[in-house]
Every structure is written in C-alpha cells, then in structure tokens.
Chain A
Amino acid sequence: MLEALSYEFIQNAIIAGILVSLISGIIGSLIVVNRMVFLAGGIAHAAYGGIGIAIFSGFSIFLGTTLFAVAAALIMAFVTLKQRENIDTFIGLIWAVGMAIGIILVDLTPGYNVDLMSYLFGSILAVNREDLYFMGSLFVLILFVMTFWYRDILAVSYDSEYASLSGINVKFFYTLILILSALTVVIAIKVVGLILVIALLTIPIYIAQNLSSSLYSMMLISGITASLFTIMGLWLSYSFDLTSGACIILVAALWLMIFMIVQKIK
C-alpha cells in the first residue's frame, strides 16, 4: 500500500482530494445554510455546457467549464434576486438547458469521442500540476474572502433582511457566494464528477452542522471530515480498482449513516 504513495499521480490525487475537501467544507457550509443546494446542483449540471463549448471550439476544458459555471451562477443570482416566485422552475431550466447545450456541442464536434464518464464521475487520478495550482489559488481566494467578510457573509446568510438594514450589500454577497460555489463546483467535478458533486457538498456538511455552534467551526469540521472521506475513498478505489468518485461518496454516505445512528442512540 505504502509504495503507492511514491507515484506522482497518487500524490497529486491526495493533495487534490484534500484541497477540494477543504474548499467544499467552506463553500458547502455556505450553500447549505443559505439553502442553495438545488442552486448549486443547477450550476454543476449547467457546467456541462461549458465542457461542450470548450471541446467544440477547442480551448481549455477547465477554462470553458469555469467561465460557463460562473455565467450560470450570475444568471441564477440575477433570477433569484429578481424573481422570487418561480425560482425552482428557473433553476431547473438552467440545469437542463446547460447540460443539453453540452451534449449537442459534443455531438457536433467531428471525430472527437470525449470520455463523458470522467466528467460525470470524476478523474482524480488524472489531476495534474496545473489543476493543483488552480485549486490552491481558489483555496487562498476563499480563505481571503472568508477572513475579511466573515461577518457580512454570516449576517447575510443568517438574516438577510436585517443584514440589509445594517447597511450590508446583500446582493453583492449573495452573488459572491454563488460565484465561489460555481468555482468550487468546477474543481469538485474534477475529483468526484458532476453527478456526485452535490453529495460532497452536503454529506460532510450535514455531519458538521450537527456538531457546531458557529459557522466557522462548521466549515472547519466539514473540511476535515470531507478530507478523511476523500482519503478513505481513494484508498478503497486504489485497493479494489474501483471508480474513485463513487468510492468517496459511498464512504461519506456510510459514515453519515453511522453518525445518524449514533445520534439516535444518544
């Protein structure tokens, strides 16, 4: 087992797994306390449109996904801030249309047979240096945002009406949270894939929410539990030659079940 650690792609996978877990711990906490899980799901699936555009026009898939996901996040922010009534319908619309665009564009790309599965279920073992730099920068950016605006983000998340009364720009922070979610979704897709992003953004967070009395500790506990799940999942995936993303999620789900049973007994 230990010899596996000497391979560079395994090292990269572990570093990527931990970075993504810490990031999803922070952003996932914000998504859950702001009740944006469905929104984040919409962004994740719409991001597939970005993959399609990138493949069709031949530029970097990472860049394509990022730009498309951020655009989807901005549209979602605009729609949810303007139109309070039909939010669910609009999110569903963006969710489905984004994916459809992606699939059609991949169809139209001549001679290119993209490995869809790696986007649906992640390809953590194929993470390279460049990806790691991107993840590292995002992590630093998120730490920076959370350090300087923790109180504003806390106020907006807990009680947006009161936050707006106390002079906080609620729309700005709401949009910021969605953009950070979009960036997080893009890198989480790399690790666990499109389908399973939401599980990584919610399971560790659910456990943490029940153990924390402040948003800060919730983010920390989510980040740590998510890291543990990811490492355990990777180990399983390596040992039994299984899809890594699915392993990570199942490990997380198993621990969630154990956690819930223990809580019931207490």
Chain B
Amino acid sequence: MQTKFSVRVLEITNLSFAYDKEYVLENINLSVDNQDFLVLIGPNGGGKSTLVKLILGLNPIQKGSIKIFDKPSGRKNLSLIGYVPQNTNINTNFPIKAIEVVMMGHTSHQRALFGYKKEEVAHAMYLLKQVGMEEFAQKKIGSLSGGQRQRVMIARALCANPKVLLLDEPTSSIDADGQKQIYELLRELNKKITVIVVSHDLSVVLEYATKVAHINKKLAFHDLSSIKKELDIQGNHICEVELLQMLGKCKC
C-alpha cells in the first residue's frame, strides 16, 4: 500500500569520509523519502560504493551523520535496509541452493536453533515467487544466469522485511533483457518500499528513477520530475553526455 504522506527514510548530513588522508566523500547531504526510487550515479572511484558501505554500517562514520528513520545509523541493520551487493558472480562454484541463499537473509530471531524452520522455508518461497524465481528454488546458485542470480539476491535482501532496498550496481554483468526485468521488478517493489540503486546506466535514471544523485566526491541532487519535463520539451533525442554534465552540476 502506498502512503500518501512521505516519510523521511534516510537523512545524510555533512558526511565526509577519507581513506587514509584522501577524502573520497566531502560534505554529502542527501535525504530520501519513503516512495523514492533514487539512483546514485557517478564515475568509478567517485565514492558511490563508499557511501553504500557507510549507509550499511560497514564503514565507520568519521564526520557528519546518517539517520535512518530518525535514528542514527552506523551499525549493521539489515532489518531496515535490505542490501544487494555488487558482485554476485563470485563463488559461483559454491554448493548452495537458491533457497538457501535467500534464507541467509533471515535475521537471527527468525531462525531455528538448527536447520530451517517451516515458516522460514515458506517465507523464502514466497519471496522467490515475488521475484519470479520459485521454480529455481532447489537449483544450485552457480547454475543460474546472472540475472536470475541477481533476483535471488533481491529475494534474500527482502527476507527481513526491510523498509529500504539498497542495490550496488545490480545489472553490471547482466544482458539487456535481464536488466530490464530487474528494473521492472524494482519498480514493482517500489510501490511498497524505498529503492536506492547505484548505477552507471543513464537510461535507468531516465526511465525508472524519481530522484537522482550524482556523486563525485561531492554530491549533486536532482528531483527528476522537473528535469524530465524539460527533456520532454526538447524532444525525444537525448544526448547522454549533456545529461551527465547536467546531473553533475552542483545546484548548491
């Protein structure tokens, strides 16, 4: 169900982060509301993955603050933020079934003392169905295609019923068809939860995002509803380079 009033899901204020002495992120401000489909875009090494790790609590916060639902973050919290990691092609020879990967997402209080509870299996099957993968539940994860594997990872991220789904480059190794399917799925999920995607792909920004943030050490934020109108006036032909330049410009 979609709520009419927007709720602040994520609030980042004056966040800076440095590896050793070099700043990767400088004075980042960003707020995300519950119905948003936010795309984080920017060059490699621009700090996207660092920001993701900060939001998840994998990196310690050095300066500034991150609030998730008005509570300070900085600790690992999968029950609020479902996470789909960047590289899901590692360990493809690992003997593990799709459904076991999904059940990895259950938080400890959902778990049985040993083995898997009936409710857990049922919940995992429900999620696999939601991402269109229920018939692959018993398949070895390595035998699935990149797109299928990614959908299993999304099901895993949904396990703890998070309010936000955070995906790091979810389609980097997937063919065009698979990419479209993933984004259609995310759009569907976005009816209920907030979606934050790190991506290189500008066509995604234009087609699915409601907000976009360009990160290259600093962050430039755009609400896409206004930009999309401007683009419509100019006609269908969009130059990606110009668009990228526009997104990179800081409004502040």
Residues of A bordering B, CB below 8 Å: 33, 147-148, 150-151, 154-155, 157-159, 161-167, 209, 212-215, 217-218
- Smallest Cβ-Cβ distance to A218: which chain B residue: B95
A209 to B83, CA, bound (A): 28
A33 touches B140 (CB 8 A): no
B78 touches A148 (CB 8 A): no
A164 to B103, CA, bound (A): 15
B111 touches A165 (CB 8 A): no
A161 to B153, CA, bound (A): 13
Among candidates B78, B97, B101, residue contacting A165 with C-beta atoms closer than 8 Å: B78
A215 touches B104 (CB 8 A): no
B114 touches A214 (CB 8 A): no
A148 to B105, CA, bound (A): 18
Question: Which residues in A have their C-beta under 8 angstroms from that of B85?
Answer: 159, 161-162
A95 to B108, CA, bound (A): 38
| Residue total for B at the interface (Cβ-Cβ under 8 A) | 31
Q: How far is the CB of B58 from chain A (nearest CB, A)?
A: 7
Q: How far is the CB of A181 from chain B (nearest CB, A)?
A: 18
B249 within 8 A of A: no
B94 touches A213 (CB 8 A): no
B104 touches A214 (CB 8 A): no
- Smallest Cβ-Cβ distance to A212: which chain B residue: B95
B100 within 8 A of A: yes
A158 to B149, CA, bound (A): 14
Residues of B bordering A, CB below 8 Å: 56-58, 76, 78, 83, 85, 91, 93-97, 100-101, 103-108, 111, 113-116, 138-140, 156, 160
Given A150-B114, A162-B83, 7 extra CB contacts under 8 A: A33-B95, A148-B113, A165-B76, A166-B160, A167-B76, A213-B97, A214-B95
A contact face: mostly helix, strand, loop, or mixed: helix
Question: Which residues in B have their C-beta under 8 angstroms from that of A164?
Answer: 58, 76
Question: Which residues in B have their C-beta under 8 angstroms from that of A157?
Answer: 94
Among candidates B76, B96, B107, B114, residue contacting A215 with C-beta atoms closer than 8 Å: B96
Q: How far is the CB of A28 from chain B (nearest CB, A)?
A: 13
A214 to B101, CA, bound (A): 11
Query: Could you list 9 examples of A-B contacts with CB < 8 Å?
Result: A151-B103, A157-B94, A158-B96, A158-B101, A162-B104, A162-B156, A166-B106, A215-B96, A217-B95
Question: Which residues in A have their C-beta under 8 angstroms from that of B156?
Answer: 162
Among candidates A147, A151, A158, residue contacting B111 with C-beta atoms closer than 8 Å: A151
Question: Which residues in A have their C-beta under 8 angstroms from that of B58?
Answer: 161, 164-165
Among candidates B76, B94, B114, B138, residue contacting A148 with C-beta atoms closer than 8 Å: B114
